[in-house]
Amino acid sequence: MIIDSHTHMDTGNGLGIGIENSNPKELAEFRNMIREKKLGVLANASCVSEFEAFETIEGAFISFGIHPWNTHEFCKSGKGENPLLLDEQDWVKCIREKLEGVKEYFRGAHAVGEIGMDSVWCSCNLMLQRELFIQQLEIAQSLRRPVVLHTKGQEKAIAEILLNYSLKKLVHWYSCEQYLELFLEQDCYFTVGPNYQTSNAVKKVISTVPLDRLLVETDGISAVEWASEKKIRVAEIPDVLKGSVRAIAEAKGIAPEIAERRIEENFYRFLGI
Ligand SMILES: [Zn+2]
């Protein structure tokens, strides 16, 4: 089965990361495809309402975590522009209380994520992002859950933080042309994003990462639309993923069917199931 190892699905309530124009029908379409085993997913829940919606989808695996873009929740300004209104002691306490309140969702998820830091698409204070990231890594460590990582612009800092954690780590859609080796040294898994034809960094992931550490992902409909510059339907998602599998197969000199099977094995090994 083709598996989307990191995706966002629109629950139709306008919440969630990367959901701009909410589509109430999207989740039902995903639900049917997953039930019919046309697609497997590690669906990313960035809030309780997403978790509860994905939990009702038979056959879906779920990652749960507070995305770095949501760090602004912890700023008094509410926009991440003036986080120093809270002093560091308050951040630590405030984040701990928030995470404690959703502990059962971390416990109920197959993985903790996506978590990390971002200095490219997010203007939230990096010290705050770092605190939120580290506290979630601690939760993953205590619950023995693998982690899904968002590393945009903070690749080196994140690789250094990760050295303190002996977790299974999945670097989602790595798109930096540097520091790949810092993650390879830590035996990380990597997802290949849908821009494998145009991004040199993604091409490097395909050629450099060993086959037993490679996965494929879409990061959700809106990310595929961003990468392909056209509208995408839910029914097209398996073909998008199969394009990434073919690129991996070609780079590794194996048949696409074998690559698909090996990638599926990687997915279950990463989740420990
Ligand atoms: Zn994502």
**Residue 85: its pLDDT value, please?**
54
**Residue 35: its pLDDT value, please?**
95
User: For residue 153, how far is its CA from the centre of ligand 1 (angstroms)?
Assistant: 15
Domains parsed from the chain with CATH numbers: 66-271 (3.20.20.140)
User: For residue 273, how far is its CA from the centre of ligand 1 (angstroms)?
Assistant: 22
User: For residue 173, how far is its CA from the centre of ligand 1 (angstroms)?
Assistant: 8
Q: Report residue 6 CA to chain centroid gap.
A: 5
**Residue 12: its pLDDT value, please?**
81
Give the position of tokens 């993953």: 140
What residues flank ion ligand 1 with Cβ within 5 A? 114, 219
**Residue 74: its pLDDT value, please?**
77
**Residue 42: its pLDDT value, please?**
98
User: For residue 220, how far is its CA from the centre of ligand 1 (angstroms)?
Assistant: 7
**Residue 262: its pLDDT value, please?**
98
Q: Please state, in angstroms and rounded to a whole number, the distance separating the CA atoms of residues 172 and 151.
A: 8
User: For residue 111, how far is its CA from the centre of ligand 1 (angstroms)?
Assistant: 13
pLDDT tens track for 78-130: 554 544 556 777 888 889 999 999 999 999 999 999 999 999 998 888 988 99
**Residue 258: its pLDDT value, please?**
98
Q: What is the pLDDT along the chain (273 residues), one digit of tens a residue?
A: 999 999 999 998 766 776 666 787 899 999 999 999 999 999 999 999 999 999 999 999 999 999 999 988 776 655 545 445 567 778 888 899 999 999 999 999 999 999 999 999 988 889 889 999 999 999 999 999 999 999 999 999 999 999 999 999 999 999 999 999 999 999 999 999 999 999 999 999 999 999 999 999 999 999 999 999 999 999 999 999 999 999 999 999 999 999 999 999 999 999 999
Q: What is the DSSP string of the chain?
A: --EEEEE----SSS-STT--S--TTHHHHHHHHHHTTS-EEEEEE-SHHHHHHHHTSTT-EEEE---GGGGGGGSTTSSSS-GGGS-HHHHHHHHHHHHHHTHHHHHHSSEEEEEE--SSS--S-HHHHHHHHHHHHHHHHHHT--EEEE-TT-HHHHHHHHTT--S-EEETT---SS-HHHHHTTT-EEEEPTTTTT-HHHHHHHHHS-GGGEEE----HHHHHHHHTS---GGGHHHHHHHHHHHHHHHHTS-HHHHHHHHHHHHHHHHT-
User: For residue 114, how far is its CA from the centre of ligand 1 (angstroms)?
Assistant: 6
**Residue 77: its pLDDT value, please?**
55
User: For residue 115, how far is its CA from the centre of ligand 1 (angstroms)?
Assistant: 9
User: For residue 82, how far is its CA from the centre of ligand 1 (angstroms)?
Assistant: 26
